[in-house]
Amino acid sequence: MAAPTPPTGTPSLRPTRFGLAFLGLIVLTLIGCVNYSLSLGYGLTFLLGGVWIMTAAPLARAARGLTLTLDPPPVAVAGTPARFAVQAQTSGAAVTVRVRLRSAAGDRAQVTLQASAGQPGQGGLDLPARVRGPLPVAAAGAAVLDPLGLWELRQPLPLPAPLLVFPAPEPGAPLPPVRVRAGEGEGRARQPGNEDFAGLRPYTPGDSPRQISWRHAARTGQLLTRETDAPQGLARHLDWADTTGDPEARLSRLSAWVQTLRAQDIPFSLSIPGTELPLGSGEGHAQSALVALARQAPLPTAPVIKAGTAAAPGVEGAALRATLLALGVAALPLVLRVPVWASALTLGLLAYAAARTRRPLPPAPAWLLGVLAGLGGVALHAHYGTLLGRDGGTAILALLIALKAAETRTPRDGRLLVLLGLFLTATHFFHDQGPLTALHALLSVAVLMAASAAWVAPEGGADPRPQLRAALRLMGLAAPVALTLFLLFPRPDGPLWTLPLQGPSQTGLANEITAGEFSDLAQDDRVAFRADFAGDVPPPDSRYWRGPVFEAYDGVRWTQVRVPGPVPSVQPTGKGWTYSLTLEPTQTPWLLALDAPVRLPPGAVLTSAFQAAARPSGTRRRYLLESQPARLGVSEDRERLTFDLQLPAGQSPRARALAASWQGLAPAARVDAALAFLRRGGFTYTLSPPTLPEANRVDAFLFGSRTGFCEHYASAFTFLMRAAGLPARIVGGYLGGQVNPAGGYLIVRQQDAHAWTEVWLPGQGWVRVDPTSHVAPARVNADLRTALTRPQATAALAPGPAAQLRLRLDAVQNRWNDWVVGYDGAQQRDLLGRVGLGEVGSGPYLLVLALLLGAALLPGLLVLRAQGRPRDPAARALHDLATRLRLPRGPGETVTVYLERAAAQVPHAQEALDEVRAAYHRARYAPEDPAPHLRALQAAVRRVRRRGRAR
């Protein structure tokens, strides 16, 4: 057995292939977070980055106490694997090490070992012995791995001596020939044999134990070997001439004969071209014969194996099951978003792949997986309309990951599944960035990194708890780095490129108004947006949140138009409000602002219809706005006013006639006349109005059903105003909002969607008129629920216990939105300004960033260093000494021998090392309390210095 030696050469720290792919994933998710302003995505990306850094930190320390033993096999036969035995021992913390061998022919072998103090790791490396002759090892190396397999500290190993491969014995070879030598009768020539005793000789290695004279050895203590002989005619002579075929076939037969005679302990001689082996027997003689056969010229040439053509190792069941379980956790939120059949197919494929690790199920045919991928893509495209958007893209991604899992065959595939699972986790932030999503992301990352740890040493066992603990520990150590980068990493205000996240609109407001549009929204209590005011909350009659403006009417629907012309005037008339608006994900550009917005966030614009608009976002966004009561469009463009008088020809003649009767009145009086008609006409407010005909729809409502929702009243009133000669249009948006007493902000839900009318009056501009408020005043004074049951109420119904709990939870959500989801470039600049760091990229900013990153890394490095030290105080002191001297203690090396070796390396510290030895022995073996001796041992270790004088 080779002596245990530490790995030699210069170690090099580098990421593994999986580590480079992991880094690529971090860069990819960071780009996505920058482009789509995914605040939680920043947190996840920086957490993964911190893990990537922390995994590299302890490798150099872990490798210091590592020693490896690499032993070649005692016998190697051509055509069979040559197993090199390897053993890893460490005097420090537990370590995972991967040992690699490469032959001159290009064959590779590797084994992963886990070793801890007192528990070495053992394994074997099988290099194919393809042909007889020397089998040189071209390269040997060890790599210390981190728990997740992201980094490796490579160190070259001393190359073992070339292994001699014996020829493979011929299967079913005939018996060796018997040759009769010269000499007949009594007194004929004798030769070595096993019949008669011929004398004693000194023992030589390789002699058979049966030939040793044990009686003589017991009496004298000296090993002697008995020699025997036999008549010369009974000996076996193995001759090259007795074989046929090519040289390798001849050597194979001779090898079979040597093996047969060795097993029977029959003497033999050997004659091959260039080599004559005299008559002999025993293990040593047979070994010499096999060596001669192995070295017989010409030596065959082994086929050169191209890099990458070696057979990949098979998938280990426990590691794959852990990965599939982690993928199931990562894909869980999709169950709430994708079609049922897509969820069933995705989870079914994962379950099938997991079942294959336990039962001999047939692998899924490649053609079947291709068909499932094609059909799934077509069905998802038909469901979502595209596979490039948010919903279709994440659904097809999950399906493709499940298909990949069903055909996973190698550890490389398993690690790829881990990366895909992390990417799938990041895509959930496109849909939601709430606290529950953040908790799910942490859980998903933990189990995926535990699965990654399982692939580092798949033969380590099926218990997932050690890997999960390692993953959670690394996440905890990386948290300070993630927090520092989350706060200080530069955040641009705009995207890197424009690629809308297609998906269903979450605001509920459409691009047109038809009957039933807003009454459908009234049954949806999801949050549309939240508004947090810097001062007092506006009164209920001022909470009109302006959205799209509808000016074109075809008799059935109202749509938006673009009317060219100068920007209309805005004349403020009162005190304004400053507020932050947190919009839920939407695919529409409208910022729901109070009338009239006078300050908009960067990148937003105010249209000629006084709509605040910004780039659509598929994620929750936070905006800072300022609004002020104002006269809008007093100097409105005449082309627009003319357009807003248009009505479809021949539609609703009774309504036209009614409005025409008011044309002799002053403009404001015409508005009052129409409102009086609604108040006195017996109209009712309901979510379930009857269906109106497409022809003469306004007449059917005003003079027939007389019941409807806000869009019915706004549409009919706007028609009457245009017929009366006043420019009018419909404004869509939201009305009201619930004040959350737990946070003092407004919650506006989808059910608060509302439509009202704007009428242009000379000298006043666009004047808001809400005809619904004259039928159901509670819609303005209270809320929708109160307006439906008590239309004339002046206050909303008090919330019950369940509603109060819901408000408290929403307050938590709102604070989360403010501090985490809404943390953007503007808030970052505000934070930097408050602490006096100036702009991003300034000198103070860069200095503080470097200092904070160093401080964030320090706790993790200290924890990792402490974990690498032994727990026993005396052993820990010796570990510290080895660290100081940079001289690792060998496995099995006693303290005395180690300290003598250390004194030879640093002779100036001889006296201090003698104190360490004495203090260690007293701490270990003294009968009294060891505490004083342990303190003395620690003090003695501190006095040792590698260079200079010991104190």
Q: Which residues are catalytic?
A: 710, 754, 770
Cβ partners under 8 Å of residue 220, min gap 6: none
Cross-strand partners of 153:
13, 144
Q: Using CB atoms within 10 A of its CB, is residue 246 exposed (0-12), middle (13-18) or buried (19+)? A: exposed
Taken as a whole, the chain contains a residue count of 951
Count other C-beta atoms under 10 Å from residue 382's C-beta: 9
Q: Can the peptide bond before residue 298 be classed as cis, meaning omega within 30 degrees of 0?
A: yes
C-alpha span between 362 and 237 (Å, rounded): 55
C-alpha span between 16 and 20 (Å, rounded): 6
C-alpha span between 894 and 898 (Å, rounded): 6
**Nearest partner of 531 among 650, 461, 625, judged by Cα:** 625
- State the sign of the Cα–Cα–Cα–Cα dihedral 194, 200, 205, 209: positive
- Which DSSP string do the residues of 840-872 spell out, in sequence order? TTSHHHHHHHHHHHHHHHHHHHHHHHHHTS-SS
Q: For 37-145, where are the alpha helices, taking DSSP H only? A: 39-54, 59-64
- Tokens representing 330? 């990562």
Question: What proportions of the chain, in percent to the nearest 5, are helix, strand and coil?
Answer: 45, 20, 35
- Report strand pairing: 268-272 vs 236-239: parallel
Residue carrying the six token digits 């959930």: 428
In which element (H, E) is residue 941 found?
helix 931-942
What's the Cα-to-Cα distance from 663 to each of 267, 337, 648, 669, rounded to whole Å?
Answer: 134, 54, 19, 9
Q: In what order do the strands lie in the sheet with 12-15?
A: 12-15, 151-156, 137-145, 95-103, 108-115
C-alpha span between 398 and 325 (Å, rounded): 14
Q: Is 108 strand, coil or helix?
A: strand
Cβ partners under 8 Å of residue 492, min gap 6: 34, 825
Q: Is 132 strand, coil or helix?
A: coil
C-alpha span between 772 and 749 (Å, rounded): 19
Q: Is 519 strand, coil or helix?
A: helix
